[in-house]
Structure 1
Amino acid sequence: MANPTMDAARLDELERVIRADIDGGRYFGAALKVSRHGRTVLDIAVGHADPERTHPITTDSVFSVFSITKAFVNVLVLRAVELGRFALTTRMSEIVPEFTGQPRERASIFHFLTHTTGMPGVWEPVPGLLLEELHEAVEAVIGHVHGSVEPGSRCDYAPMANHVLLAEALRRTDPRGRSIGQILREDLWDPLGMTDTNLGILPHMRDRHVVPQMRGVLPITSKSRTSPGDYGLYTAERNEAVWAGSASTTGDLQRFMEMLRRGGALEGVRILSPQTVAAARRVWTADLPNELYRTVALRNGDAVPPANLGLGFNVRGDGMFVTQLGTLTSPETFGNYGAGTGLVWVDPATDLSFVGLSAGLLTQADNIARYQRISDMVVAAAI
């Protein structure tokens, strides 16, 4: 049955473009899921999980989603604010007293969500340190990542440090004293029916897991005590790497994004209030650039874009610049991404939700260009 809300020929062209990318070796495979007005309008799996083309991508393939993990923590932090456990203006040092030292101890939950803590954006606090346990990561960040400028004065995307402490804030203020994995499972994933999402690869997910092929893109290794290899963190059954360690499917991520598109609730389960979602998708970083992407843009010869960060979300915002959220999407479009692989967004103006996951990591610049083109093609198919 034809879908009256989307142009079928445009969606066919999108799939053709993705197949051409894969056939050309740009990446190995991808799965995309798009909804409009709450109805799935595109659900495709193209290519393979590996360069040898031995494991086809399917619509229920499990991907390591890297920094999309941060979106789950962000939502639960906003929920904790709604429940009165702390405020956006609460300083992290009030919850984690050992987080001392000027100027970082003045950084609030708001600064952590907007990547404006004043701490530099480091990938790992100590080279080669095992960071699969939250308490060890907390100790490493507190001991080695110090403030360099006043909170609020600079935007440095934090690959790991911010969400280590945000997750610790959730854990320390949890009335039931649960682990961060339990909090994510019981307060977010289970209520939303996200049965294929976890910090680690559960047994029922193992056969469908697309083992990440790093292709030299990430600047660090991620080892595990329980799974072999330089990137064992992403194949272990369990981790507490709350900044990058979760795995999911396009189906589960669609449920998460549909919750956000609908103002914080899905199928009778409310995670956030509409007011909170509205505040979260507003740009809070003014005209500050994101220092990580300043470097990417300058290296690529592009204009430096504004950071356009909301409360834990990337926001399209106004202006014309290179962005994976697309140039044809509305300024209110908001979402999150995972290093070289994944992107999720909601465009409130066209009532679209988008999930894209891929195999074979791309460099930051190539990933941004890839998803800018895909995002523009998706929103242009809305009629």
Structure 2
Amino acid sequence: MSADKVERQFDEGRLQELRAVIERDIAQGDYHGAVIRVSLGGKVGLDAAIGSADADQTKPLSVDSVFSIFSLTKALTNVLALRSIELGRLALTTRVVDIIPEFKGAPREQVTLLHLLTHTTGMPGVWIPKADMYQDRLDELVQAVCENVHGSVPPGERCDYSPVANQVLIGEMLRRTDPKGRSFSDLIREDLFEPLGMHDTHMGVRPDLRARKIVPDMRGVIPIKCLGRTQPGPFSLFEEEVCEAPHVGAVSTTRDMWRFAEMLRRGGELDGARILSPRMIEVARRNHTGDLYNELYRAVALRAGWLTPPPAYIGLGFSVRGEKIVHHQFGTLTSRETFGNYGAGTTMFWIDPTLDLVFSCLTAGVMTQAANIQRFQRLSDLAVSAVV
């Protein structure tokens, strides 16, 4: 660690201003509550539960509240893919069809692990591979993707954020190349959650987590049903006890997601558990999509009336802050190699390797895409401004 990183510290007044802004957001109904954890050089400066799980503020959040983390699940799946490369089981150049033969057909048969991680497969970003299907079983998701999600352009030409297909395929590639022949749920638990001490993180709502689990309030912003086979309601997937959806199926706490992010800040190791090498993280946090737009968020920007749609800025399985000053969930004051992930208008973590800063925040009350970007951009800049 460089000398300038050692000398930095938090301004307590600025951290309290960050908390006050969240409180004001909640008071005016932007969202219901947030559990936030911010650290500098591994030292936690803010660890707070603010607000409630519901709009009426009758169910206060706690620092150990368990959330559906939605697409933050992708980050967990992606890190296992990077680890698999380091173990020699996969390569960035491995074609999906060579591991999953049923994923045949031009032009998608040229899709590699690199294309999956960077959302440049040439396949459209569909929200569900088959209408009204259950999404809690990986084998059924893989079959639906192979049968219904086809390439529209050659891989590498466009960046279309994939809500489901990419991580389903990555999860299956991990499963089929696992020397132990484990299920995806066992693989991710044994190789990631347990080594990192992420004791409140699970694929599905483990029975002992149920009492602390926050049922997501979608507030009409999720465009599809997310169905599991045993629980009631249009978003029952997020309450299933067993859920092997590598794209959205995990539950976690802000603390656990902070531990995951802290491992990345430390170069791939935490408390003696080595998940990745420092070199892999250096490569993964670079922008691998150039100036390509993320087509999903270009549409969000146009609908919001933003003058400059943000480039995709995607690394190897991570979102990256990038160079231009644009609307960005990681803020406008973070360094260009700040990297992390986000989920469905409610969850986010990032690591700024220049400032040595980690931000982890899970919230209640799902927001629309543009409003969520602006919310987290503001909170991220507040966190950076607290570093002096």
TM-score (norm 2): 0.97
- Separation in 2 of the partners of 1:207 and 1:224? 19
Residue 131 (structure 1) aligned to one of 118, 135, 160: 135
Aligned to 1:187: 191
Q: CA deviation at 1:53?
A: 2.0
Contact 2:15 2:45 in 1 (8 A): no
- Say yes or no: does 1:339 pair with 2:357: no
Q: CA deviation at 1:238?
A: 1.2
Amino acid at match of 2:39: S
Residue 32 (structure 1) aligned to one of 28, 36, 44: 36
- Say yes or no: does 1:272 pair with 2:276: yes
Aligned to 2:384: 379
Amino acid at match of 2:249: G
Q: How does 1:114-125 map to 2 (within 5 A)?
A: 114-125=118-129
- Separation in 2 of the partners of 1:195 and 1:317? 33
Query: What SS does the corresponding residue of 2:157 show, helix, strand or coil?
Result: coil
- Separation in 2 of the partners of 1:161 and 1:4? 42
Aligned to 2:316: 311
- Say yes or no: does 1:63 pair with 2:67: yes
- Separation in 2 of the partners of 1:267 and 1:175? 26
Aligned to 2:57: 53
Q: How does 1:234-383 map to 2 (within 5 A)?
A: 234-302=238-306, 303-383=308-388
Aligned to 1:171: 175
- Separation in 1 of the partners of 2:103 and 2:239? 31
Query: What SS does the corresponding residue of 2:71 show, helix, strand or coil?
Result: helix
- Separation in 1 of the partners of 2:381 and 2:173? 37
Deviations 1:29-79 (A, max 9, x none): 100001111111110111100123221001110011000000000000000
Aligned to 2:96: 92
Q: How does 1:10-25 map to 2 (within 5 A)?
A: 10-25=14-29
Aligned to 1:83: 87
Amino acid at match of 1:281: R
Q: Which runs of 5+ in 2 are unaligned?
A: 1-6
Deviations 1:243-292 (A, max 9, x none): 01111001101110000000100011100000101110010001100000
Query: What SS does the corresponding residue of 2:116 show, helix, strand or coil?
Result: helix
Aligned to 2:235: 231
- Separation in 1 of the partners of 2:114 and 2:233? 36
Q: CA deviation at 1:203?
A: 1.5
- Separation in 2 of the partners of 1:224 and 1:254? 28
- Please identify runs of 4+ aligned residues in structure 1 that moved more than 3 A: none
Q: CA deviation at 1:227?
A: 1.1
Amino acid at match of 2:339: F
- Distance change in 2, residues 1:4/1:106 (3 Å): closer
Q: CA deviation at 1:4?
A: 7.1
TM-score (norm 1): 0.98
Amino acid at match of 2:323: D
Q: Which runs of 5+ in 1 are unaligned?
A: none
Query: What SS does the corresponding residue of 2:25 show, helix, strand or coil?
Result: helix
Query: What SS does the corresponding residue of 2:340 show, helix, strand or coil?
Result: strand
